[in-house]
Structure 1
Amino acid sequence: MQWHRHTFESLPKNDLYALLRLRSDIFVVEQDCVYLDLDNHDQNSYHLYAKNTEGAVVAYVRILPPGTAYPQVSIGRVVVEKSARGKELGIELMVRAEEWAWDLFEHERDVVIMAQSYLLQWYGRLGYVAQGEEFLEDGIPHRIMIKSNK
């Protein structure tokens, strides 16, 4: 597995296409949720992704600076390609994203995510704590979760 970290400006065009395709394949097609993925946050985000030995993007996440989606730094668009699941790649993706987020924004104590409700236990094992009530985002139940860097 090869890991890549980029700003929007430094993303290679083919990688940008591949990660947007992966997001669409999972969030729109697999989850049968028609929504506008391109939300104008990608341009100001930091992008972390993994490529397999064939060079295909198989995991992706973006880190949003404080004040973009939430007052705190946040992690979003967490996605692992279907054939790459069950290998703890998602855990490695999140750990790497958290470490990079705290390196980028040293003054930030918390990382915020908007988790799909069916993944609450999975994120909980990573140290995230649910906040507030469940809500619908594009017709899918979600909860806000926070992890503190102690």
Structure 2
Amino acid sequence: MLEVFIKKFKELTIDELYSILRLRSEVFVVEQDCVYQDIDNKDQKSLHIFISNKNEIIAYTRIFKAGDYFENSSIGRVVVQENHRALSLGHEIMKASIDAIQTNYNTSKITISAQKYLKKFYEKHQFFQVGEEYLEDGIPHIRMVKE
């Protein structure tokens, strides 16, 4: 049974935090072959949105209020475990994250730093590209905004 959770950093259990960090490492470091500092001291100020299946975290994002990461509220570290991607959990976790920003931060204006190849995915959630492509950790990214 899939469950969606929204938690502050201090509300995460040790097992949840470990599972989140493991999932982010599996995808962003190992699968994408990108060496970067994932543990960036920003988790403490974000809200953590995740989907769990039988106590296993299979999809995750973190959200920030305006000014904590970008000028607008933001969503980052969007990740779905590889063997669960066929279930459209990316769209579910994005919808839950957008809703959480509206509920917790009372805004619908959101900025993201998106991997370029996911542009069409984010456009389905009403994000549009702002500015030119840039490299972040060696991967092509674009800034996208949702009004």
CA contact (8 A) 2:133 2:141 kept: yes
Deviations 1:111-139 (A, max 9, x none): 11110000001111111100000000000
Query: Residue 74 of structure 2 corresponds to which residue in structure 1?
Result: 74
Query: Residue 60 of structure 1 corresponds to which residue in structure 2?
Result: 60
TM-score relative to the length of structure 1: 0.95
Q: Could you tell me how far 1:88 is from its partner in structure 2?
A: 1.0
CA contact (8 A) 2:98 2:108 kept: no
CA–CA distance in structure 1, aligned partners of residues 100 and 108 of structure 2: 13
What is the number of residues matched between the two proteins? 146
Matches within 5 A, 1:66-145: 66-106=66-106, 108-145=107-144
Gaps of 5+ in 1: none
CA contact (8 A) 2:61 2:75 kept: yes
CA–CA distance in structure 2, aligned partners of residues 45 and 22 of structure 1: 17
CA–CA distance in structure 1, aligned partners of residues 70 and 44 of structure 2: 16
CA–CA distance in structure 1, aligned partners of residues 112 and 52 of structure 2: 23
Secondary structure at 1:79 match in 2? strand
Q: Could you tell me how far 1:63 is from its partner in structure 2?
A: 0.4
Query: Residue 16 of structure 2 corresponds to which residue in structure 1?
Result: 15
Q: Could you tell me how far 1:109 is from its partner in structure 2?
A: 3.7
Q: Could you tell me how far 1:52 is from its partner in structure 2?
A: 1.1
Q: Could you tell me how far 1:64 is from its partner in structure 2?
A: 1.1
CA contact (8 A) 1:41 1:64 kept: no
CA contact (8 A) 2:101 2:108 kept: no
Calculate percent identity across the aligned residue pairs: 42
More helix as a share of residues:
2
Gaps of 5+ in 2: none
